[in-house]
Amino acid sequence: MTGPVRHLLSIADLDRDSIEQILDLTESFAEVGERNIPKVPALRGKTIAWLFYEDSTRTRLSFETAAKRLSADTMNFSVSTSSVKKGESLRDTVSTIEAMGVDGVVVRHSAAGAPNRIAEWVDAAVVNAGDGWNQHPTQSLLDLYTARSHLGDLDGRHMLIVGDIKHSRVARSNVSAFTEMGADVTLVAPRTLLPADIDHWPVEVTHDLDSVIESADICYLLRMQLERQELAYVPTLREFHTEWGLDPRRADLLPEHALIMHPGPMNRGVEIDGSVADRPNALMTQQVANGVAVRMAVLYLLLGSGLDLVDERLAAA
């Protein structure tokens, strides 16, 4: 975020320097999370609204935790109990929330581009918490932070992203994020689960997980997005697991230092064997924990006073 970036809509809006600044700031906020009272006054007086049109456990709870640790006020909005159920449009819903006075809106929506539209309508900072198949920028930041904390510099590291690439906003965000940080990304999927424009992505592609598993520094598994699939893209989930799942045999082929990552929620027994998900090098719990500090950094940068003051403020807190 060099200059006056007002929103976080896509990871592709951030260059390498900006990403590194956010990850460095995340380290400071991770330290806040370890204190007896994990709270700083950095966003006191600011109000943030959650606008989640799609289900979420990790993203929503970690944004809420991040906001509380920064002393922000929050405005809870639940689509299922709101006037959206009576047919109120996205624009009118957003205008209603803004009229009550908000400084930030964190939005998840099934339509790609919905956060961009909201950013055109409001003065508040908008954070994309996942839009359709398109982007999930804070997931990518927490994945980068987690990988960096284990591997150090990601330059030249080999990342496999395995599974349902076609329907995955995490895949799209993470290809941008990890290649920007110098990693080499290989996508591993059946032909039916690759996007039509794959030739334009800065990645290698293979359909054979066994051919690349021994060269991986990061094996990043994706959930089979059954809710986004109108057709059957694989004959059966059992066959998918046999061909593309990370089972114990394949996990044993990974280099000793390699990381196993997954954005969650996991389908144990589909993209990952249950016992593999519980191995020490499977970092899903760390990813979730790091998500709070990353989201503190993002909210602070967008709503607070910026990088210059952060060390001073944290020291004074």
Least distance (Å) from ligand CP to the CB of residue 174?
11
Q: Which residues are CB-contacts of 8 (< 8 A; sequence separation ≥ 6)?
A: 1, 125, 126, 127, 128, 137, 138, 298, 302
Residue 59 lies near ligand CP (rule: CB under 6 A): yes
Catalytic: which of 7, 46, 109, 136?
136
Provide the H-helix boundaries in the chain. 16-33, 58-69, 90-99, 114-121, 137-151, 169-180, 237-244, 248-253, 274-277, 284-303, 307-316
Q: CB of residue 147 vs ligand CP: minimum separation in angstroms?
A: 15
35 is catalytic: no
Instruction: Check if the beta carbon of residue 61 is closer than 8 Å to that of residue 106.
Output: no
Known catalytic residue at 136: yes
Residue 130 makes contact with ligand CP by CB under 6 A: yes
Is 139 a binding residue for ligand CP by CB under 6 A? The answer is yes
Instruction: Find the part of the chain contacting ligand CP (CB under 6 A) among 19-27, 50-58, 232-240, 250-258.
Output: 50-58
| DSSP reduced 3-state for 109 | strand
**Residues paired with residue 225 on neighbouring β-strands, in sequence order:** none
Interface size with ligand CP, residues (CB under 6 A): 9
- For residues 190 to 229, the per-residue mask of contacts with ligand CP, x marking binding by CB under 6 A and - elsewhere, is ----------------------------------------
- Taking a C-beta distance cutoff of 8 angstroms, is the pair 135, 172 a contact? yes
DSSP 135: B
Q: Is 138 in the site for ligand CP (CB under 6 A)?
A: no
Contact call for residue 83 and ligand CP (CB under 6 A): no
CB nearer ligand CP, residue 59 or residue 93: 59
Q: Judged by CB under 6 A, does residue 6 bind ligand CP?
A: no
How far is residue 223's CA from residue 271's CA, in Å, rounded to a whole number?
6
Q: Which of the residues 232 through 291 are near ligand CP (CB under 6 A)?
A: 263-265
* Contact positions vs ligand CP (CB under 6 A): 56-59, 130, 139, 263-265
